Structure 1
Amino acid sequence: MNLPTFDIFIKPIDFRELKSDLWNDDPVPASLKINKKRVEIDLSYRGSHIREFIKKSYHISLFNFKGLNELHLNAEYKDPSLIRNKLSLDFFTSIGCLSPSSKHVFLSINGKAEGVYLQLESVDHNFLKKRNLPHGPIFYAINDDANFSLVSPIDNKAKTELYAGYERKTGLKSDSLILAEFIYLLNTTGKQEFETTIPSWLDIKQYFKWLAGVVCTQNYDGFVHNYALYRNEGTGLYEILPWDYDATWGRDINGLKMRYDYLRIEGFNTLTARLLDIDKFRKQYKEIMRGILDENFTVEAIEPQIHHLHSTIRPYLTQDPYVQDRIDIFDKEPDFILQFLKDRQNYLRKHLKDLD
């Protein structure tokens, strides 16, 4: 299977401007050739700490090309397998959780090979339209303030705005105020009132599928960012989606080994803690987790995907100037991920009793 080719062409003066300030979000004009189709784009760097890596990640704005308005090209530089993000997002889809689609591509800029990248679908109005979902506001959790709490973990002070930590992708200012009301209610209602009112705000079953996905893949940062919130205007309920899942399957954000038992089965954040404090919700989460451990988070389900992704991008690594000297590590990653999967599944099965 051949990877799609993405060729970006940018004038030298614009390329110099892009490189002059890593933290400038203002895009520069360029053009993008996807296989044989060429379109005009705006190009900028994406991410936070990843901008400092030698292999850059990019945000591409298009002008409604094939129903798309933007693309995210992730370098996956700290993941020695280059597949954890996609493996995770596809896993979320398999357990019935809304998740952005993704695919590996080979990128060049002005004829110079930049290597293997992961193209991530943007979670926006086109994401909803593609899935025949009702319109609704979408928020990206962009920093640790998106912890569903009244207090910022950044400075341990009360938030001045309860929607702090979120970037509104679609929707109106009034939707931000509704989100603030939701956060206020989940922090200030008593246990009995919370149990009766939360089902009118949150798709609880969907939230527990997401929670189980975060816990299984062990994305330690996934509880206070690396997610998106969507309020389905058909149901009026919030749903939660994964985003940026390269620090998973046994490695952290620096690509270092993370013990399989680092993250507890209950997960974290204020909303999760309040839900699991209710007996009937805790039981519901336990049954969802048990089903996923039986059907989805298994060697039989995951191993073919690992080997397919690995073998698909393997031929392109010799052309990737940033990882071509790490191919020996890349080749060991399928076994590393599978061992994590086995150890993590055993750990979670043993701790199902913690949810009694």
Structure 2
Amino acid sequence: MGPTVHLLQGVIHVNETNLQTYKLFIRPQDLSALKENIWSDDPVTGSLTINNKKLDIDVVYRGSHIRKFKKKSYHVQFYKPKTYRGATEIHLNAEYKDPSLIRNKLSFDFFSSIGVLTPKAKPVVLVLNGRQEGVYMELEAVDENYFKNRGLTIHSIFYAVDGDANFSLINDDRKPKNSLDLGYEVKYGTEEEQLLLNEFIFKTNTLTKAEFEKEIIKYVDVDKYLKWLAGVVCTQNYDGFVHNYALCRTENTGLFEVLPWDYDATWGRDVHGKEMDYNYVRIEGFNTLSARILDISNFRSNYCSLLNDILENQFTIEFMEPKIADLHGKIRPHLLTDPYKRDYIKNFDEEPQFIMQFIKDRNAFLQAELKKF
């Protein structure tokens, strides 16, 4: 019998912890230019004041489909000073289609708890040119500084920017790729690193089963990959297998590992904020690399053991409920001044229960699938 879902005791209580206020200033003419061409990636200058410290920045809208929303998300790059709190850039996400506003943060904390290298996230309040813009989620950028701040030397960082980053020779339209690194954007790394990525993808698709088992461990940290795969499967990020990740190679292992990114469409909701059935994503996920790895009995056994442990310990109501309650409580008082979300406070208050019900149902589904897997 599965765990009973309890209503959070703190969901409608005010949390005394205030969120930091970030004051963003963009000259009116530059803000108008951004609004006139939301798809432009050319930044404008501005300033961001945090804790009474004024920072000169470059800023532009971020994301793909989210640029169409009324509440914009921002990519901020510091240039005077060039770094702030060890970062040269941050992302300010509006979380516009997530009625809970916590799914990104909740996902990253969950991934971290199961041993996956993960960006930090925290809720803040944004004021733009003196006008309340409401609650945002600050997301840490995955770049050279991300690894430097963790005492790691990085060789390469590739962003999976669309569904072509599927570890396959076939693109998202089921046609042969004209480039093996299609779907990736080079964030950091030399041409040699790009050739290594191409080699890795080529071998993933062309080696025999026996060859693959011996060779893949020279390219990928399989244990870490399986942890990431289990995290995507649990949180049910439908795009997460071929998109929404960073592929990185560090000096300490010399192997590729995967970091999650953009996890607002999770915990039972899709990219439009609509309910997604708890059994929508299968237990093995989907992409070519996962299929080949799970075809090896030893790797498959390790995945089953790992996923079973996560379902018993981290992906549970007992483990996640305090985190959900804490985030909900911190954000709620500030939602009342959010011009885009204050009329949806009822939906916001229903989300903790919704997420917990998803955890209960998804956990039971995956436990049942494990017995057959």
* 1:134 Cα deviation from its structure 2 partner: 2.3
Pick from 32, 35, 60: which aligns with 1:16? 32
Residue matched to 1:327? 345
Q: Which residue of 2 aligns with 1:129?
A: 148
Cα distance in 2 between the residues matched to 1:98 and 1:67: 17
Partner of 1:259: 277
**Structure 1: which amino acid aligns with 2:162?**
N
CA shift digits 1:16-52 (9 cap, x unpaired):
1111100000000000001211110001000000000
Give the corresponding residue for 2:120.
101
RMSD in angstroms over aligned alpha carbons? 0.8
- Normalised by the size of structure 1, how large is the TM-score? 0.98
- Residue 91 of structure 1 is matched in structure 2 by 110
| 1:179-200 superposed Cα distances (whole Å, 9 cap, x missing partner) | 0110000000000000111111
Shift of 1:353: 1.9
Give the corresponding residue for 1:28.
Answer: 44
User: Can you list the C-alpha shifts for 1:268-309, whole angstroms capped at 9, x where unaligned?
Assistant: 100000001111110000000011111111111100000000
Once residues 288 and 354 of structure 1 are traced to their aligned partners in structure 2, the CA distance between those partners, rounded to angstroms, is: 16
Instruction: Write the mapping of 1:15-164 to structure 2, written as runs, cut at 5 A.
Output: 15-62=31-78, 63-153=82-172, 155-164=173-182
Amino acid in structure 1 at the alignment position of 2:43: P
User: How far does residue 152 in structure 1 lie from its aligned partner after superposition?
Assistant: 0.5
Give the alignment's TM-score, normalised by structure 2: 0.94
TM-aligned CA deviation for residue 135 of structure 1: 2.0
Q: Percent identity?
A: 57
- What do residues 53-103 of structure 1 show as CA deviations (whole Å, max 9, x unaligned)? 111000000121232110100000000000011000100000000000000
AA of the residue aligned to 1:313: I
2:20 aligned residue: 4
In 2, Cα distance between equivalents of 1:133 and 1:92 = 19
Note the 1:170-209 alignment, pairs <5 A. Answer: 170-209=188-227
1:308 corresponds to which of 326, 345, 367: 326
The amino acid of 1:144's aligned partner reads G
Task: Give the one of 317, 323, 330 matched to 2:335.
Answer: 317
Matched to 1:26, the amino acid is D
**Alpha-carbon distance, 1:313 to partner:** 0.3
Shift in Å, 1:173:
1.9
Unaligned runs of 5+ in 1: none
Number of residue-to-residue matches in the alignment: 354
Q: Which has the higher contact order (CA 8 A, sep 6+)?
A: 2
Distance in 1 between the 2:195 and 2:280 partners?
Answer: 35
SS in 2 for 1:199: helix
CA shift for structure 1 position 354: 3.0
Deviates more, 1:8-17 or 1:255-264: 8-17
Shift of residue 130, structure 1, vs aligned partner:
1.3
Which secondary structure does the structure 1 equivalent of 2:115 belong to? coil
| Rounded Cα–Cα distance in structure 1 between residues aligned with 2:129 and 2:351 | 31
Give the Cα separation in 2 of the matches to 1:331 and 1:65: 34
Paired letter, 2:34: L
Distance 1:354 1:192 in 2: 25
